[in-house]
């Protein structure tokens, strides 16, 4: 779940290339973030496949987040990409890989400790301020519930941070925590697809989405931002 | 608990010391290794320890029941029942939801909307390996190749022995169980061999596989449609190197760890990228699975009939298809198996024809040459060209099929090939360092085999301090040049 500097520099080039579409379209949605953002981007591409007026741009990088800035610095990447971007809607999904210690000046901050929360809040705020340079309408998608109880506990805390910082920094926060739950409120790998039948919606890892799940995810976000 | 982590190092150090303190006390040593193996397994998810124990006990009972009967029909029924139960367990955990999801796809394609009964189950780590070991044990007892164990501890340890538990190699009972009864001997050669193998494995995993995965392969497969053709071409070569360095690293560490505890596992990889035919390739890649499939799938399919014609081709195809599906509950693995099955059939048919043609030609030439020189000689250039063509086809077929193996979904593989064969764009991720890693990793397969065995033999007389220093420095160097963090081994998912 880490990224090295080689791919980091290359990604900036890719991000810049893809941030420069040949011509602007009426709606251009940029998905920024980790593999969950990529899932959302793939889902959006699927559900908007017949809509030439909606353009989906994925600026995603697997195994990244706001904790391991030594491997991948989202602030720098987004800062560069936004200067050249033309998206009018920007959706961020980040944090899935961040349930781990933060190292600050040689000090290790244990996940979810008070010091960790303060530092993580600071990083989220800094990232949001960078993204705010964009003239796009800004959305921050919270993390979904996952199978691992340990991760889920961490995600709950992180979602509270995202919600607080979103309110302070002009983002609209979209809560998806319980959108894929069973009727009795538990995590499930299965759920009703857009076709209305039971499907596997989460992958074997208990986190990422399958194709029906990605469409479901994308559909919910599209509704939340007024595109469906 | 991943192998290249401080947790495993501490765990192994404790087990190593305790196991050698008990080297002359066979039964307590077995109990210690069994407890350590269950701790190792339970470290991931303690809930599946009961499943592992249940599977071991079941196969223990099945082995005794099969051996107790002298009636061949009863024996056959018992072994069939035990095999079905093992496969049923694997099917439930690994394939049930895949089957239901595929059925849903089919019903939706037919315009029928119907909810299917999915089960909320998690795939237990290593289940594909320990169920295959259970099957091989009961079948070997049925075939009278081994005697059943009398102690459930022995079978439980055979199935759960931690170096090979979660990702192989698939150790055979006939090879491992006799070793349990002997007093282990810790020789200098075995220690050096074990440490060198572990060091080699850690280097392949944490340096080669890790760099290729994070810098090239993972970004490419995350969004292949956004990548350039050059990156994708390099990426499909890189993936076969990654999967080799990842999986053979696990095998190396497993074999090395077992050697340090006084047990010998067979080689699981033997320079597969240096082979010049697919048949040869599968004799050198994941050898423990290939031989398992040969002994417990191909041979039962063949039965007592002559191994020729369409029946042989069908059996080859089915064996590879099952081998593909063993890797995961996904259509991408089915396609991967079907590609290799088909390719092996084509290769076998072509070889048969080529062999007939060459035999006829050699006879003719021999008659002519013998008349002049007394013996016939093959043309060296023709032999080299044939070997190169064989290597080229084998390597590229494996690399191309690997795109299906790596893709999480069929659509990803199709996107990958679509963008790769568009022949557009310049390299954005590929660096000279990555090219060097790919070429270097393939090139070493053309070198001599058993390098580590020979090196261990040569270093046998080194002073312990020098040996320790060298290995410690090797570990530090590997740690320094590799990227931080440890990704899970690819074969954990199988």
Within a domain: B296: yes
Given B115, B149, B182, the domain boundary residue is B182
Same domain for B150 and B194, yes or no, is no
Same domain for B233 and B256, yes or no, is yes
Whether residue A8 lies within 8 A of chain B, CB to CB, comes out as no
Q: What is the pLDDT of residue A5?
A: 45
Smallest CA-to-CA distance from B253 within B207, B202, B289, B209 is with B202
Same domain for B331 and B254, yes or no, is yes
Phi and psi torsions of B9, nearest 5°:
-60, -45
Residue B123: which residues within 8 A CB-CB, separation 6 or more? A204, B93, B94, B493
ipTM of this complex: 0.72
Rounded to whole angstroms, how far apart are CA atoms A80 and A26? 23
Q: What is the pLDDT of residues B320-351, one digit of tens each?
A: 999 999 998 899 999 999 999 999 999 999 98
Q: Name the CA dihedral angle for A126, A132, A133, A134, rounded to a multiple of 10 degrees.
A: 140
B interface toward A at CB cutoff 8 Å? 97, 101, 104, 107-108, 113-116, 118, 120, 122-123, 211, 214-216, 218-219, 222-223, 226, 408-409, 411, 428-429, 431, 433-434, 483-485, 487, 493
Q: What is the pLDDT of residue A16?
A: 40
What is the distance in angstroms between the Cα of A184 and the nearest Cα belonging to chain B?
A: 14
Report residues of chain B scoring pLDDT below 70.
Answer: 366-380, 484-494
Question: Which chain B residue lies closest to A192 (C-alpha atoms)?
Answer: B115
Chain A neighbors of B211, CB-CB under 8 A: 4, 6
Q: What is the pLDDT of residue B482?
A: 75
Pairing between β-strand A102-104 and β-strand A107-109 as defined by DSSP bridges: antiparallel
Rounded to whole angstroms, how far apart are CA atoms B177 and B424? 56
Quick count: other Cβ atoms within 10 Å of Cβ B432?
7
CB B193 within 8 A of CB B453: yes
Cβ distance of A197 and B484 shorter than 8 Å: no
Question: Which chain B residue lies closest to A42 (C-alpha atoms)?
Answer: B223
Within a domain: B407: yes
Cβ distance of B97 and A14 shorter than 8 Å: no
First-to-final CA distance of chain B: 16
**3-state DSSP call for residue A29?**
strand
Question: Which chain A residue lies closest to B97 (C-alpha atoms)?
Answer: A200
Whether residue A220 lies within 8 A of chain B, CB to CB, comes out as no
Chain B neighbors of A77, CB-CB under 8 A: none
Q: What is the pLDDT of residue A194?
A: 94
Smallest CA-to-CA distance from B264 within B200, B196, B177 is with B177
Same domain for B254 and B341, yes or no, is yes
Same domain for B176 and B221, yes or no, is no
Domain limits at B38? 25-182
Q: How many helices (H) and strands (E) does chain B have?
A: 22, 0
Same domain for B89 and B117, yes or no, is yes
Q: Which two tokens stand for residue B486?
A: 């440890």
Smallest CA-to-CA distance from A164 within A120, A110, A223, A222 is with A120
Whether residue A198 lies within 8 A of chain B, CB to CB, comes out as yes
| Burial track A75-102 (b if 16+ CB lie within 10 A, e otherwise) | eebbeebbeebbbbbbbbbbbbbbbeeb
Smallest CA-to-CA distance from B181 within B67, B32, B62, B25 is with B25
What's the distance, CA B103 to chain centroid? 30
Within a domain: B149: yes
Rounded to whole angstroms, how far apart are CA atoms B83 and B58? 11
Within a domain: B469: yes
Q: What is the pLDDT of residue B371?
A: 53
Q: Which two tokens stand for residue B346?
A: 């084509």
**Between A and B, how many residue pairs show a Cβ–Cβ distance under 8 A?**
84
Q: What is the pLDDT of residue A25?
A: 52
Q: What's the full length of chain A, in residues?
A: 228
Given B182, B204, B230, the domain boundary residue is B182
Given B161, B182, B203, the domain boundary residue is B182
Exposed, middle or buried, B167 (CB in 10 Å: 0-12/13-18/19+)? Answer: buried
Provide DSSP, A53-114. Answer: TEEEEEEE-TT--SS-TTT--HHHHHHHHHHH---SEEEEE--TT--S-EEETTEEEPTTSH
Whether residue A184 lies within 8 A of chain B, CB to CB, comes out as no
Number of domains within chain B: 2
Cβ distance of A199 and B101 shorter than 8 Å: yes
Residue B135: which residues within 8 A CB-CB, separation 6 or more? B82, B83, B86, B87, B296
Phi and psi torsions of A92, nearest 5°:
-110, 130
Rounded to whole angstroms, how far apart are CA atoms B459 and B454? 9
Chain B neighbors of A18, CB-CB under 8 A: 226
Same domain for B383 and B476, yes or no, is yes
Same domain for B193 and B161, yes or no, is no
CB B201 within 8 A of CB B477: no
Same domain for B115 and B150, yes or no, is yes
Same domain for B68 and B98, yes or no, is yes
Within a domain: B389: yes
Cβ distance of A2 and B484 shorter than 8 Å: yes
Cβ distance of A196 and B97 shorter than 8 Å: no
Within a domain: B115: yes
**3-state DSSP call for residue B442?**
helix
Within a domain: B143: yes
A5-181 maps to which CATH number?
3.40.50.1110
Smallest CA-to-CA distance from A61 within A17, A7, A138, A125 is with A7
Q: What is the pLDDT of residue B219?
A: 84
Cβ distance of B215 and A6 shorter than 8 Å: yes
Q: What is the pLDDT of residue B426?
A: 87
Within a domain: B467: yes
Cβ distance of A38 and B487 shorter than 8 Å: no
Q: Name the CA dihedral angle for A186, A191, A192, A194, rounded to a multiple of 10 degrees.
A: 120
Mutation site, B103, B111, B118, interface A, largest A CB count within 10 A:
B118
CB B284 within 8 A of CB B269: yes
Report residues of chain A scoring pLDDT below 70.
Answer: 1-25, 83-85
Phi and psi torsions of B326, nearest 5°:
-60, -35
Distances from the Cα of A143 to the Cα of A59, A157, A160, B33, angstroms: 18, 10, 10, 41
Whether residue A203 lies within 8 A of chain B, CB to CB, comes out as yes
Q: Give the catalytic positions of B in this structure.
A: 327
Cβ distance of B215 and A4 shorter than 8 Å: yes
Choose among B113, B219, B226: nearest Cβ to A7. B219
Query: Residue ranges per domain, chain A?
Result: 5-181
Same domain for B448 and B307, yes or no, is yes
């Amino acid at each position: 779940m880490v990224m090295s500097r080689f791919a980091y520099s290359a990604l900036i080039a890719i991000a810049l290339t893809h941030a420069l579409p040949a011509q602007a379209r009426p709606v251009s949605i940029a998905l920024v973030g980790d593999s969950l953002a990529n899932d959302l981007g793939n889902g959006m591409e699927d559900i908007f496949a017949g809509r030439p007026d909606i353009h989906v741009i994925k600026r995603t990088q697997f195994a990244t987040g706001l904790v391991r800035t030594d491997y991948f610095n989202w602030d720098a990447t987004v800062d560069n990409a936004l200067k050249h971007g033309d998206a009018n809607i920007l959706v961020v999904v980040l944090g899935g890989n961040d349930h781990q210690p933060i190292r600050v000046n040689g000090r290790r901050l244990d996940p979810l400790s008070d010091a960790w929360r303060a530092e993580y809040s600071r990083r989220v705020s800094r990232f949001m301020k960078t993204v705010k340079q964009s003239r796009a309408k800004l959305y921050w998608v919270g993390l979904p519930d996952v199978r691992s109880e340990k991760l889920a506990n961490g995600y709950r805390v992180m979602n509270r941070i995202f919600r607080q910082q979103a309110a302070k920094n002009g983002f609209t926060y979209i809560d998806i925590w319980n959108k894929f739950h069973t009727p009795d409120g538990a995590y499930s790998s299965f759920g009703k697809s857009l076709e209305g039948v039971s499907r596997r919606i989460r992958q074997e890892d208990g986190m990422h989405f399958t194709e029906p799940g990605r469409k479901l995810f994308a559909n919910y976000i599209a509704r939340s931002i007024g595109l469906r | 608990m991943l192998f290249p982590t401080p947790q495993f190092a501490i765990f192994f150090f404790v087990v190593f010391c305790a196991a050698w303190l008990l080297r002359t006390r066979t039964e307590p040593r077995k109990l210690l290794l069994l407890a350590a193996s269950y701790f190792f397994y339970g470290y991931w998810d303690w809930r599946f320890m009961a499943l592992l124990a249940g599977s071991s006990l079941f196969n223990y009972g099945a082995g005794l029941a099969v051996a107790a009967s002298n009636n061949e029909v009863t024996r056959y029924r018992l072994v069939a029942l035990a095999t079905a139960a093992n496969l049923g367990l694997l099917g439930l955990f690994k394939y049930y939801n895949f089957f239901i999801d595929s059925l849903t796809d089919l019903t939706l394609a037919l315009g029928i909307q119907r909810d299917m009964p999915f089960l909320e189950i998690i795939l237990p780590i290593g289940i594909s390996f320990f169920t295959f070991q259970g099957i091989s044990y009961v079948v070997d007892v049925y075939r009278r190749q081994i005697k059943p164990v009398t102690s459930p501890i022995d079978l439980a340890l055979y199935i759960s022995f931690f170096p090979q538990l979660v990702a192989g190699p698939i150790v055979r009972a006939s090879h491992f169980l006799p070793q349990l009864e002997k007093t282990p001997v810790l020789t200098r050669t075995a220690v050096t061999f074990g440490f060198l193998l572990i060091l080699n494995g850690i280097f392949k995993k944490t340096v080669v596989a890790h760099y290729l995965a994070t810098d090239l392969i993972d970004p490419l497969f995350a969004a292949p449609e956004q990548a350039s053709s050059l990156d994708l071409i390099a990426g499909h070569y890189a993936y076969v190197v990654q999967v080799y360095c990842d999986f053979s690293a696990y095998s190396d560490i497993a074999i090395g760890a077992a050697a340090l505890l006084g047990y010998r596992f067979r080689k699981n990889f033997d320079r597969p990228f240096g082979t010049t035919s697919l048949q040869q390739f599968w004799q050198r890649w994941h050898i423990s699975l290939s031989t398992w499939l040969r002994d417990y799938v191909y041979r039962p399919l063949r039965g007592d009939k002559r191994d020729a014609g369409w029946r042989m081709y069908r059996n080859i195809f089915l064996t590879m298809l099952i081998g593909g599906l063993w890797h995961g509950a996904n259509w991408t693995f089915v396609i991967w198996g079907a590609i290799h099955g088909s390719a092996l059939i084509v290769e076998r048919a072509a070889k048969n024809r080529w062999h007939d043609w060459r035999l006829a030609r050699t006879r003719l030439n021999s008659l002519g040459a013998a008349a002049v020189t007394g013996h016939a000689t093959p043309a060296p250039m023709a032999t080299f060209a044939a070997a190169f063509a064989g290597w080229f086809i084998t390597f590229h077929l494996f690399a191309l099929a690997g795109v299906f193996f790596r893709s999480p979904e069929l659509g990803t593989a199709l996107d990958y090939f679509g963008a790769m064969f568009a022949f557009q764009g310049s390299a954005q991720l590929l660096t000279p360092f990555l090219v060097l890693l790919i070429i270097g990793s393939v090139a070493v397969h053309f070198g001599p085999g058993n390098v580590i065995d020979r090196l261990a033999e040569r270093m046998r007389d080194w002073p312990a301090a020098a040996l320790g220093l060298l290995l410690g420095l090797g570990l530090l160097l590997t740690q320094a040049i590799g990227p931080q963090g440890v990704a899970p081994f690819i074969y954990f998912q199988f």
